[in-house]
Amino acid sequence: MKPLRPSTTYILLFFFGLLSCSSGGDDPVIPSQSTPAPKPEPEVVVPPPSKASLSFPENNKTCETGTEVSETQMSVVFKWNAATNATAYDLRIVDLNNQSVNLQNNITATEKSVTLTKGNPYSWQITSKATGSSVTETSELWKFYLAGDGVSNHAPFPASLISPASGSTVAVSASGTITLSWEAQDPDGDALVYSVYLDTVNGTQEEVATDIDTLSFEVSVEKDQVYYWRVKSFDGENSSFSQVYGFRTGS
């Protein structure tokens, strides 16, 4: 037998070395180094705003003035104190003669100039808002008369109807009556008397009582019927009418 050549010996040694390595068992498993899941961001809780404190025009002011715009209009600056956590405000002004609404939204300051008709009564209030919060807060409701040319006695503020509320259903007493109630103010401090209108049409058809000197009145009604009502306030010289409310009597 011929001796192996050196090159052949090296090849055989390399082959047997591979066999010995492969017979040594499975390769160790290297654990995966996966990225841990990120922690959730903490929820940010936005504190709700507080109510704004009204400053100007003053409540029940009889002769509020502003900057003359025309023969019939004045510019009035509405002012209020900043509300805690509020980032913006909505100003709602209502002409009490015709119930038209002037809405100024997203005011970032604490005052706003608005042009209004002279000689009319108005109510106003502020809604506080905070960015990131759905909660709002509404201020008190203030009323005032914007000065008119040559006005010495102002009509009463239109009465605010309390009960029955608009759209409500009212229980009828055993005697077939219900009680109407309202609130009213006169900017000049005059004593007021009231007339009540009640009908099934639109609240302007029938004056069922007059010269009432209280803030409530009992009226006779039928069951299961829709009624409309309003109140006229009279100070001996001038008068004003409330809004018309509708309600249903129970069966």
Q: Determine how many CB atoms are found less than 10 A away from the CB of residue 29.
A: 6
Count helices and strands (H / E) in the chain. Answer: 1, 19
Residue pair 244/228 in contact (Cβ under 8 Å)? The answer is yes
- The single-letter DSSP state of residue 19 is H
Predicted confidence (pLDDT) per residue in 43-93, tens digit: 777 899 999 999 999 998 877 778 889 989 999 999 999 999 999 999 999
More confident residue, 119 or 140: 140
The pLDDT of residue 21: 47
Distance separating alpha carbons of residues 120 and 98, to the nearest angstrom: 10
Which amino acid is located at 94 in the chain?
V
Strand bridging mode 121-129 / 88-95:
antiparallel
Largest CA distance in the chain: 147
Pick the CATH number of 157-249 from 2.60.120.200, 3.40.50.720, 2.40.128.20, 2.60.40.10: 2.60.40.10
In percent, the amount of the chain with pLDDT more than 70 equals 85
- Confidence band for 37, pLDDT divided at 50, 70 and 90: confident
Q: Is the dihedral of CA 247, 249, 250, 251 positive or negative?
A: negative
Domain boundaries, the chain: 53-146, 157-249
- The CATH number of 53-146 is 2.60.40.10
- Confidence band for 3, pLDDT divided at 50, 70 and 90: low
**pLDDT score of 38 more than 90:** no
Residue pair 69/115 in contact (Cβ under 8 Å)? The answer is yes
Distance separating alpha carbons of residues 176 and 201, to the nearest angstrom: 20
* H or E segment to which residue 53 belongs: strand 53-56
Predicted confidence (pLDDT) per residue in 45-55, tens digit: 789 999 999 99
**53-146 with 157-249: one CATH topology?**
yes
Q: Is the peptide bond before 121 cis (omega within 30 degrees of 0)?
A: no
Q: What is the pTM of this model?
A: 0.72
More confident residue, 111 or 14: 111
The pLDDT of residue 198: 96
Retrieve residue 107's tokens.
């005011």
